A and B are shown apart, each in its own frame.
Chain A
Amino acid sequence: MNRDRTKGIDRRSFIAASLAAGAALTFEAKIALAAGPGVAEATMLNAFIRILPDNSVIIGAKNPEIGQGIKTMLPMLLADELDVSWEQVKIEQTDANEKLYGPQVAGGSTATPMNWLPARQAGAAARAMLVSAAAAQWKVDAASLTTAGGRVVDKAGGRSATYASLAKAAAAQPAPDLAKVPLKKPNEFHIIGTPKKGVDTPKIVRGEPLFGIDTRLPGLLHAAMVKCPAIGGTLASYDDSAVKSARGVVAVVPISSGQCPAGKQDAVAIVGTSWWAVQKLRDKLVVQWDIAAQQGFSTELYARQAAEALGKAPDATLFKAGDADAALAKAAKVVTGDYSYPFLAHATLEPQNCTALWHEGGTVEFWAPTQNPGNGRKDVAAMMGIAPEAITIHMTRIGGGFGRRLMNDYMVMAGQIAKAVPGRPVKLLFDRTDDMRNDYYRPGGWHRFTAGIDASGALVAFKDHFVTFGANGKAIRAADMPASEFPASVVPDTHLAQSFLTTNLTTGWLRAPTSNAMAFVYQSFMDEVAEAAGTDLPALMLRTLGAPRDLPTERPTVVFSTARARAVIERVVAFAGWTGKPSAVPGKGRGFGFYFSHRGYFAEVVDVTVTDGAVKVDKVWIAGDIGSQIINPLNAEHQAQGAAIDGLAQALVWQPVVQEAGAVQTVTFSDFPLLRMDAKPAEIAISWVKNDYPPTGLGEPTLPPVIPAVANAIRAATGKRLRSLPLQLA
């Protein structure tokens, strides 16, 4: 293809068509995106489309698939504008190559807002070149031609041609300006907005190898690790004499995931021809760890320190407006409440794993189930002292992400093991206990709230003393709270303050990070305020949100629209038949929760039945606003159901991560149980509020509000206010 067209215009968009071997026609589109509403930062996005001689179409799926449905959804955008039928489309997972494809991250529900326009522009531009080719060939005006099902149609001339047959002529057409290429109107979509099944579903139900753990290569070796029990502990010495001589053992390799992030994560890997065999040998490895600096940390210590911190002045102010103390002194009523939530593990069902092959000459190739291959590349390069270009990353399907695989410790470790056995691929697999003990946990936290209400029942003063985990006067990863947290953003006299504890545990993002905790504490406490004000939570929320307007958030490109918040609250109130009156049936209760996260607005109502202290969730109503278009309604329903049930697990399943003497003790699915089928609600009803805003992501924002909705429903059912997670009735 004509590479000249791309030279020196890195910040500009282009599409290039070429005749490539094996394909009739290949389109490559590179699209510059300025930062703007719905887009996190300026970025380049790439798309590729290949039209084969049989007129089928291959579309590259560039983002990691963790069950969020992106491998199906992004190609839907391209295929619709290209005007091919979905049945013609084959989808191929691309490699990780940020230079070529732009950001390839499964995190933060960002893929939809980032790709909604550019993916469609790429499809539309390719279509425009095919139409121009047909117009030139038939000597008619391009505007008189239409397309459908991968053909250009000349109605007046009574003729049509397949895209494949136009390949040669299309490749010679001038490329249209991607920014100006006309896009379909919503009523012209034939793929977007229609239910599409997951592209890998047929392979999944046949048990075909898809996941990282299934990677098969000639001469594949396997590695199991003995990891320091306390995160941050270091390897003092080891004796591998009883291991090295065992049948099938190829190497014993000390490793560290020190780049993920700071702090050493030392381990010793045993490499051999069978994972089953090497993991069994771990008992025979004699290892001395230095955990002197870690062994003081425990769950019990954090609780004690948090209680002390709450009794003292906060370390730092996060946000201050007016004079909260003065306003509280004048308030008609003051409400207080102490809330907390525990550390949580991700517990993806596919344990962490990664396959790596160190080539002679110092390059390394990965088969990695990672949500963020770009960061994996950086981490490996830094840890191993090699150039980022020396690293090739193949992306596998991923057996659950939930944020765990935004971190790339397993890549760094697999890379080091591979270097010790050059020329042979090696797969590192964590067993379940390794996985539970070496997570990047959702950090626990504590909040002391104080709110003041005036005589009319309006919220006039608000304080939160947040005790979280920090270092150097700043919250550590995922332990932060937005300074714009509602209602602090609208109450005139407000003070959000924080104090920091320290931990040796590595922390990280768990699906709807920060939001999953903040929704619970803020919306539960707001329910208390509503009660004190003699109203209910939806009514208090509407009153506190006030007039329709846009409020700033932590991100310059994202605003919080009170109008959109009001709309979902009003929708769920109508949809669930919310009256605010207690149930006439003893043991039954109904609760409400609202939360804005990841650009999505969600209001949810939960019905519970409490029998002998056991909570059963009967029904969940969800009203959600993710903009103008639900791209794949089938997957949208799956995501909303899954996230709501995931939230119920955080609310109700006893699964705190317990730490003693520096080490996590919660290591199996019996001490960290996951929600099972018997706890699923009988019904989950979903209603979408649509408007003119561009579509945004759905992997996360359904989750947070369900947690306070359950807590508030339990209060309604039993009179008991539960202020810590998981929600336990004595």
Chain B
Amino acid sequence: MSMVLTVNRRKRSVDADADKPLLWVLREDLDMPGTKFGCGAGLCGACTVLLDGQAVRSCQTLISEAAGKQITTIEGVTALPAGQKVVEAWTRIDVPQCGYCQAGQIMSATALLTANPKPSAEDILLGMNGNICRCATYVRIERAIREAAGLETKA
């Protein structure tokens, strides 16, 4: 079926099966491979994108659910004020190791800081625990979020 999606503020028309997850529409139909496939089961967070500012797992999101909403992906995240800060902190601290999970991490962190600009340690855990990093960059992810939020960071 054919529909129009708004991705990173641009209207994109797509012709795909209604049950095709947003993840695969992004990767295959819109040629935007920044959003990653990790498990296809909502368990790893590698595929996280924003729908109207909310972090969702795009492998579990049908395109029909995404239609009519603002979709933000890693390719467009710096257009959001929180996204810009998150990406800057990620680069400054050099968070990535292999880097595969990082698009999802950045999207979850952006959603977290957009909703909650000064998160507590607990809030950070709640916002980020759905995102696996197999390389275990967690120490720097936490630090980058605190820096992006302008919170004191431990030395």
Contact = CB atoms under 8 A, between A and B. Distances in A.
B116 interface: no
B90 to A, nearest CB: 5
Interface in A252-301: 274-277
Interface residues of A, number: 58
Given A349-B46, A669-B132, A677 B74 contact: no
Nearest to A634: B94
Contacts of B106: 205
Given A204-B102, A205-B96, A400 B135 contact: yes
Main SS class of interface, A: loop
B89 to A, nearest CB: 10
A275 B20 CA distance: 11
Interface in A398-412: 398-402
Contact of A207 (B91, B94, B103): B103
Contacts of B35: 207
A349 B74 contact: no
B102 A677 contact: no
A431 interface: yes
Contacts of B125: 677-678
Interface string B13-48: 000010011001000100111111111110110100
Nearest to A399: B100
Given A198-B96, A349-B100, A213 B37 contact: yes
A202 B91 contact: yes
Contacts of B21: 276
Interface in A316-364: 347-351
B102 A351 contact: no
A642 B97 contact: yes
Contacts of B28: 222, 274-276
B98 interface: yes
Interface of A: 66-69, 197-198, 200-202, 204-211, 213-214, 216, 222, 274-277, 347-351, 397-402, 429, 431-432, 634, 638-639, 641-642, 645-646, 649, 668-670, 674-678, 680, 683-684
Nearest to A675: B136
A645 B138 contact: yes
Main SS class of interface, B: loop
A638 B103 contact: no
Nearest to A348: B134
Contact of A349 (B91, B101, B129, B140): B101
15 contacts: A69-B97, A201-B94, A201-B96, A202-B91, A205-B96, A205-B106, A213-B36, A274-B28, A275-B28, A348-B98, A349-B132, A397-B99, A399-B36, A399-B98, A677-B133
Given A348-B134, A639-B97, A676-B132, 17 more contacts: A67-B99, A201-B99, A204-B102, A205-B102, A205-B106, A206-B87, A213-B33, A276-B24, A349-B101, A349-B134, A399-B98, A402-B134, A432-B41, A668-B39, A677-B125, A677-B131, A684-B139
